[in-house]
């Protein structure tokens, strides 16, 4: 059966206009039921959450039917007809069936519905065939597309920043080393340390934790850029919100000050959520029904309300006066934990909060220093259920201030000379932020664990698939 004659099930459901036509569909059998005269197969091809009902003459296609079980892959040619069945307006009456691949009922793990998400994580190679992961990965695709569309429509250029980086001063977290040394025969220098001059790149290299520093170089030439790629953090943080490999979206804009940066972050997030509501409704409805009854209301409320904009110092006052028994104590100077962030968002304001002007000691070296000598022009966007979804700032554009700050933090000017040169030659105010793609997906899908919104999660002690 020719692939070019195949219909995607998404296009057939609701296609009353072509009822009566001969069609070909291909996909994986979700269920098989019936009696000795007639069988009903629910076939899913991944194009949409719904399966298509195939009606089979159990006498005529007896031989084929015998081999078909849950999980088998088949191709069906037949007539599209109106259906009286519940929840579907069309079905296919099979004229012929080709079995591409059987799935032994004794060992195929997805026989029944209702597996736990924990179990499905152990079969990451098969879980895309469940309704839940089909929905999540279609939404993941739609969000990736919407991100590119938003930036393209707003005059941003997609800049590919390196995954292997020679700078270990990005400051966003612990890094994975990249080396071509044989680990049991590492050449040592006079000090007894690995002699990286003999390594592949002639220097020590790491997987990137952020494309920002290189992104800034692009913004200082192209105006507005964004990166969208994998980032890596070798931190042993086993939480439902942290991955060791995650995707990050990092726009960087010349001439933007912090207020422009906040406007962009808010507009961007609202656009993405609106896009999901408009383009992923059947998947969202399924996930809402299965996991999170308030999902769609929560998404809508984001698009309908202005985000609160609040200085860190004010946020701390609210937390101190809240009377909440926080696990981690609050006070000016502490880095907020997600319990604090969620209190502000979920209990106090009941909408997203953009917290600004954090103490310089808890933020990265590149953030623009305020005149008070204590705070920097940072902005974190805090979301319900998630806490920090975006971290960003206006960047320090003053050469001397940046250099002094790097010295204070013992960051090597020798390694970062190229970054400093953007401030030496034609510096300008500029800003940017990083959105964790999987944090966004947690929010949009309503899933509770970040391992369930990426096809193959990398977390401490887990990289099998
Ligand atoms: P957190 O405090 O939540 O660990 P962070 O402050 O270390 O995050 P940034 O370096 O500011 O994170 O990264 C920018 C964005 O990337 C965050 O706002 C978040 O959305 C996302 N992010 C950061 N670390 C991770 C991770 N380990 N897994 C998934 N997403 C992450
Ligand atoms: Mn952050």
CB 315 within 8 A of CB 353: yes
246 lines ligand 1 (CB under 6 A): yes
Asked if pLDDT for residue 3 goes beyond 90, the answer is no
CB 357 within 8 A of CB 403: no
243 lines ligand 1 (CB under 6 A): yes
The model's pLDDT over 288-325, given as tens digits with 9 standing for 90+, comes to 999 999 999 999 999 999 999 999 999 999 999 999 99
Ligand 1 center to residue 250 CA distance, Å?
12
pLDDT at 109: 96
Asked if pLDDT for residue 434 goes beyond 80, the answer is yes
Q: Span 126-141, mean pLDDT?
A: 98
* Alpha-carbon distances, residue 312 vs 167, 237, 342, 361, 431 (angstroms): 30, 25, 14, 13, 18
Ligand 2 center to residue 352 CA distance, Å?
16
Ligand 2 center to residue 380 CA distance, Å?
7
Instruction: Identify the nearest ligand to the CA of 232 by its number.
Output: 1
The model's pLDDT over 166-185, given as tens digits with 9 standing for 90+, comes to 876 666 678 999 999 999 99
Nearest CA to ligand 1 atom 31: 436
Ligand 1 center to residue 88 CA distance, Å?
42
| Phi and psi, residue 425, nearest 5° | -115, 105
172 lines ligand 1 (CB under 6 A): yes
Spatial separation of the C-alpha atoms in residues 285 and 258, rounded to whole Å: 36
Instruction: Identify the nearest ligand to the CA of 389 by its number.
Output: 1
Instruction: Identify the nearest ligand to the CA of 457 by its number.
Output: 1
382 lines ligand 1 (CB under 6 A): no
Enumerate domains of the chain plus CATH numbers: 3-111 (2.40.50.140), 127-174+209-452 (3.30.930.10)
Distance spanning both ends of the chain, measured CA to CA: 32
436 lines ligand 1 (CB under 6 A): yes
434 lines ligand 1 (CB under 6 A): yes
Spatial separation of the C-alpha atoms in residues 405 and 139, rounded to whole Å: 42
Ligand 1 center to residue 109 CA distance, Å?
34
- The pTM of the full predicted model, rounded to 2 decimals, is 0.96
> What's the whole-number average pLDDT of the chain?
95
The model's pLDDT over 371-400, given as tens digits with 9 standing for 90+, comes to 999 999 999 999 999 999 999 999 999 999
CB 241 within 8 A of CB 442: yes
The model's pLDDT over 268-284, given as tens digits with 9 standing for 90+, comes to 999 999 999 999 999 99
42 lines ligand 1 (CB under 6 A): no
- Residue count of the chain, please give it: 465
The model's pLDDT over 243-264, given as tens digits with 9 standing for 90+, comes to 999 999 999 999 999 999 999 9
**Nearest by Cα to 286 from 26, 42, 49, 14:** 49
Nearest CA to ligand 1 atom 28: 242
CB 357 within 8 A of CB 376: yes
pLDDT at 237: 87
Instruction: Identify the nearest ligand to the CA of 342 by its number.
Output: 1
The model's pLDDT over 290-299, given as tens digits with 9 standing for 90+, comes to 999 999 999 9
Looking from the CA of residue 237, the nearest atom of ligand 1 is 27
242 lines ligand 1 (CB under 6 A): yes
The model's pLDDT over 31-85, given as tens digits with 9 standing for 90+, comes to 999 999 999 999 999 999 999 999 999 999 999 999 999 999 999 999 999 998 7
Asked if pLDDT for residue 438 goes beyond 80, the answer is yes
Looking from the CA of residue 243, the nearest atom of ligand 1 is 28
pLDDT at 169: 60
Looking from the CA of residue 248, the nearest atom of ligand 1 is 16
**Nearest by Cα to 344 from 370, 378, 303, 314:** 314
């Amino acid at each position: 059966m020719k692939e070019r004659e195949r219909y995607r099930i998404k296009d057939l459901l609701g296609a009353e206009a072509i009822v009566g036509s001969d069609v070909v569909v291909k996909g994986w059998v979700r269920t098989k039921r019936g009696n000795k005269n007639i069988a009903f197969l629910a076939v899913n091809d991944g194009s949409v959450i719904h399966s298509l009902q195939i009606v089979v003459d159990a006498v005529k296609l007896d031989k084929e039917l015998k081999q078909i079980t849950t999980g088998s892959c088949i191709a069906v040619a037949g007539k599209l007809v109106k259906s009286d069945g519940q929840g579907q307006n069309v079905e296919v009456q099979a004229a012929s069936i080709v079995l591409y691949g059987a799935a032994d009922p004794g060992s195929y793990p997805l026989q029944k519905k209702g597996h736990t998400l924990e179990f499905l994580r152990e079969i990451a190679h098969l879980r895309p065939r469940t309704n839940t992961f089909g929905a999540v990965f279609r939404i993941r695709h739609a969000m990736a597309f919407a991100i590119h569309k938003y930036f393209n429509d707003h005059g941003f250029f997609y800049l590919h920043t390196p995954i292997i980086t020679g700078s270990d001063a990005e400051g966003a977290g612990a890094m994975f080393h990249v080396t071509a040394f044989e680990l049991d025969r590492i050449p040592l220098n006079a000090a007894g340390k690995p002699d990286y001059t003999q390594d592949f790149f002639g220097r020590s290299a790491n997987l990137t934790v952020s494309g920002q520093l290189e992104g800034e170089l692009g913004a200082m030439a192209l105006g507005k850029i964004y990166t969208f790629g994998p980032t890596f953090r070798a931190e042993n943080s086993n939480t439902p919100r942290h991955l060791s490999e995650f995707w990050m979206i990092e726009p960087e804009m010349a001439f933007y000050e912090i207020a422009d940066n906040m406007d962009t972050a808010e507009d961007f997030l609202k656009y993405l959520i609106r896009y999901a509501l408009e383009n992923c409704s059947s998947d969202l409805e399924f996930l809402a029904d299965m996991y999170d009854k308030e999902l769609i209301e929560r998404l809508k409320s984001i698009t309908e309300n202005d985000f609160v904009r609040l200085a860190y110092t004010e946020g701390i006052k609210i937390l101190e006066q809240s009377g909440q028994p926080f696990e981690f104590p609050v006070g000016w100077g502490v880095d907020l934990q997600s319990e604090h962030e969620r209190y502000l968002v979920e209990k106090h304001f009941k909408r997203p909060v953009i917290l600004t002007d954090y103490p310089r000691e808890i933020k990265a070296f590149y953030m623009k220093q305020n005149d008070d000598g204590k705070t920097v022009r940072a902005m974190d966007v805090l979301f319900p259920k998630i806490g920090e979804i975006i971290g960003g700032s206006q960047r320090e554009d003053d050469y001397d201030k940046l250099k002094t700050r790097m010295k204070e933090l013992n960051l090597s000017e020798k390694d970062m000379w190229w970054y400093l040169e953007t401030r030496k030659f034609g510096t300008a105010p500029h800003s940017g932020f990083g959105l964790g793609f999987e944090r966004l997906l947690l929010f949009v899908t309503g899933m509770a664990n970040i391992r369930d919104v990426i096809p193959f999660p990398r977390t401490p002690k887990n990289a099998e698939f």
